[in-house]
Amino acid sequence: MQHAPSLHIEAVDFVGRFARMVETWRLNQKRASSYKKTVKELNKLTVRELADVGLSRGDIERVARQGAEAL
């Protein structure tokens, strides 16, 4: 007697996957906004003001990126 192969289909949580995708997109938008705002604000400072907080012009993008990633 032969057995017919059984077909096993796992349920795909499309709603959950979509919700996670939207949340990831929102977080990325928030991070991008934070990065841009930080760069803009730090670029307004003079070299002396940056030095007072322990930064140089070359540090601005790194600091902004680190701040955005921390969100």
Residue 3's pLDDT is 64
Residue 4's pLDDT is 64
Instruction: Locate 6 and state its tokens.
Output: 């059984």
- Tell me the per-residue pLDDT of 37-66, one tens digit each, with 9 for 90 and over: 999 999 999 999 999 999 999 999 999 999
Q: Which of 1-5, 8-12, 35-39 holds the top average pLDDT?
A: 35-39
What domain count does the chain have? 1
Is position 13 within any domain?
no
Is position 52 within any domain?
yes
Residue 13's pLDDT is 87
Is position 12 within any domain?
no
Range of the domain at 35: 27-69
Mean residue pLDDT across the chain: 92
pTM: 0.78
Is position 50 within any domain?
yes
Is position 19 within any domain?
no
Is position 3 within any domain?
no
Instruction: Locate 19 and state its tokens.
Output: 């919700």
Is position 16 within any domain?
no
Q: What is the CA radius of gyration of the chain?
A: 24
Is position 6 within any domain?
no
